[in-house]
Structure 1
Amino acid sequence: MTSSIRWISIDCADPYPLSRFYGAVTGWATDDEDRPGHDECAVLPPAPGHPGLLFTRVPEPKTGKNRLHLDLQPRESTRDEEVDRLVALGATVIADRRGEGQGWVVLSDPEGNEFCVNTSSAERGTPG
């Protein structure tokens, strides 16, 4: 017997704006039933069988480095163009690990959760 991952859950102070941020980051739909003030808000999976993102309100603030984070790969742009787009959406660059043509950039979302942006398939010379 095995299990599938249904949701990747992220604790946060305010689920609604964070779900909208990640909806814009991924291009995935947000749940139409979610409203400001809800204790849980979702970014829906892009296709059946894929996990979605679930943002859950918790009372305590983030106090340390994430034990789990998302690694993003741009689909239609370069890594550097995607970093610029995400910063314009409200992300903050916290570490630059770009190196010579490869590497990644560590960002934080508007609530301080870390995530990374890697090079695109095209930049690595591999099929998408």
Structure 2
Amino acid sequence: MACRIGELVFGCRDPEALARFWCEVLDFQVVGREDDGSIEIGASDGFGGKQPTLFFSRRDEPEPGKSRLHIDLNATDRDQDAELERLLKLGARPADIGQTGDEQWHVLADPEGNEFCLLRARIEPIA
């Protein structure tokens, strides 16, 4: 038997703001809230569904060192340029990690600086 990813956890200063950003980016919804202010978001089937949920846990200080994990996104209903424009309007910003400019993806950061990539290929939405 194998494991599967159930949730990805982000330590962040403002779980509410980051949850709003990622809900808009991924078309997710809030699926849970904890008494400590942590928020879990996911697709309509929630935790244990077809996609992992994202869990935002309040941390006053960022973890030391650079995160070695990032999310790769693929647009489902528009081309890469249109999706890039949408993400920037939501509050993402370009991030420089040493790209050459010849890449087929864009490196971005969410409102708290977590890096993610927008890939060129479009994929079908999960039904």
The TM-score, its normalising length taken from structure 2, stands at 0.79
Query: How far 1:4 moved relative to its partner?
Result: 2.3
Give 1:30's aligned residue.
30
Give 1:117's aligned residue.
118
Q: Give the root-mean-square deviation of aligned CA atoms.
A: 2.4
CA distance in 1, matches of 2:28, 2:22: 8
- Secondary structure at the counterpart of residue 17 of structure 1: helix
Asked if the contact 1:97/1:104 (under 8 Å) is kept, the reply is: no
- Secondary structure at the counterpart of residue 17 of structure 2: helix
Task: Pick closer, same or farther for the CA change 1:66–1:80 going to 2, 3 Å.
Answer: farther
Task: Pick closer, same or farther for the CA change 1:107–1:113 going to 2, 3 Å.
Answer: same
Give 1:124's aligned residue.
none
Give 1:104's aligned residue.
105
CA distance in 2, matches of 1:98, 1:25: 24
User: Residue by residue, what CA displacement relative to the aligned partner does 1:65-123 show, whole Å, maximum 9, x if unpaired?
Assistant: 32100000000111111111011000101146663xx61000000001000000133xx
Q: Please tell me whether residue 45 in structure 1 is matched to residue 46 in structure 2.
A: no
Count of paired positions = 119
CA distance in 2, matches of 1:97, 1:77: 25
Asked if the contact 1:15/1:38 (under 8 Å) is kept, the reply is: no
The TM-score, its normalising length taken from structure 1, stands at 0.79
Query: How many percent of aligned residue pairs carry the same amino acid?
Result: 34
CA distance in 1, matches of 2:72, 2:11: 17
Query: How far 1:64 moved relative to its partner?
Result: 4.5
| Displacement over 4 Å in runs of 4+ | none
Moved more, 89-98 or 68-77: 89-98
Task: Pick closer, same or farther for the CA change 1:50–1:8 going to 2, 3 Å.
Answer: same
Asked if the contact 2:27/2:43 (under 8 Å) is kept, the reply is: no
Structure 2 residue runs of 5 or longer lacking an equivalent are none
CA distance in 1, matches of 2:7, 2:110: 18
